[in-house]
């Protein structure tokens, strides 16, 4: 059994010689050394997976993200600069970022599903209450229509209930289109006033 002196241990309990070897392994991985990559994987995979699992909780997703991290390490090892920091920190930072990206993607997907679900839910409504409201509104309109002049009522009935265009109403009533528009406008203003609509 290897006996370690306290000064030979990093603040997180990793032997300093192991940190050095992770750095040298990563530099050899940057040169395309597959054996060094396999050894690097064996050395840091438990820490990478542990970090990711603390963030994601789900073991299957954590393994998937860890696999993505190691693929990224293989592809981007040439970007590692020992002057800017330790190799293990570089790897763990990459793992942390990937895990956070997965969390954000999952949250976005969840939010999207909720929005779609809410949109697709059939809203329950009381058909009896709705039909009563429609009937009451219809009665209000009928009462308000009695307050219009005969000419206004005739133009509104043809245009809104009959579905005729302004020019068709003008032909039916044998009056200029400008007169039809005036009757409709004045009639609608009076209807709004009678019904108390702003």
- Confidence band of 107 (pLDDT split at 50, 70, 90): confident
Residue 118 placed within a domain: no
Question: What letter would DSSP give residue 6?
Answer: G
d(C-alpha 39, C-alpha 43), whole Å: 6
Segment 136-150 shows an average pLDDT of 84
Q: How far is CA 9 from CA 18, 47, 83, 188, 194, in A?
A: 9, 16, 21, 87, 88
pLDDT given at position 20: 45
Domain that holds residue 21: 12-111
**pLDDT tens across 152-173, in order?**
888 888 887 778 888 888 998 8
| Same-domain pairing of 105 and 30 | yes
Q: How far is CA 105 from CA 51, 96, 98, 102, 145, in A?
A: 18, 14, 10, 5, 57
| Same-domain pairing of 21 and 60 | yes
Position 31 pLDDT exceeds 90:
yes
Two tokens, residue 147:
């307050």
In angstroms, how far is the first alpha carbon of the chain from the final one? Answer: 89
Residue 44 placed within a domain: yes
In this prediction the pTM is 0.49
Residue 54 placed within a domain: yes
Residue 79 placed within a domain: yes
Q: Look at 44-53, 67-76, 160-169 and tell me which has the smallest mean pLDDT.
A: 160-169
Position 124 pLDDT exceeds 70:
no
The residues, any chain, with a CB within 8 Å of residue 36's CB and separated by 6 or more, are 25, 26, 28, 29
Position 138 pLDDT exceeds 60:
yes
d(C-alpha 99, C-alpha 109), whole Å: 15
Instruction: Give one DSSP letter per residue of 7-38, joined into a string.
Output: GGB-TTS-BHHHHHHHHHHHHHHHTT-HHHHH
Two tokens, residue 72:
């990224």
Segment 5-12 shows an average pLDDT of 42
Position 193 pLDDT exceeds 50:
yes
Structural domains counted in the chain: 2
Position 76 pLDDT exceeds 80:
yes
Two tokens, residue 136:
């009451």
């Amino acid at each position: 059994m290897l006996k370690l002196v306290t000064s030979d241990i990093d603040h997180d309990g990793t032997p300093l010689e192991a940190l050095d070897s992770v750095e040298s392994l990563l530099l050899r991985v940057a040169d395309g050394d597959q054996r060094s990559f396999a050894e690097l994987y064996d050395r840091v995979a438990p820490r990478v997976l542990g970090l990711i699992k603390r963030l994601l909780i789900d073991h299957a997703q954590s393994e998937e993200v860890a696999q993505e991290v190691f693929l990224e390490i293989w592809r981007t090892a040439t970007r590692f600069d020992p002057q800017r920091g330790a190799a293990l920190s570089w790897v763990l930072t990459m793992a942390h970022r990937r895990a956070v990206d997965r969390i954000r993607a999952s949250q976005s997907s969840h939010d999207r599903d909720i929005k779609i679900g809410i949109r697709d839910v059939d809203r329950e409504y009381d058909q009896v209450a709705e039909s009563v409201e429609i009937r009451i509104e219809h009665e209000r309109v009928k009462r308000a229509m009695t307050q219009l002049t005969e000419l206004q009522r005739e133009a509104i009935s043809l245009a809104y209930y009959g579905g005729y265009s302004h020019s068709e109403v003008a032909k039916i009533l044998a009056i200029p289109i400008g007169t039809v528009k005036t009757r409709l406008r004045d009639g609608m203003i009076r209807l709004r006033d009678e019904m108390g609509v702003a």
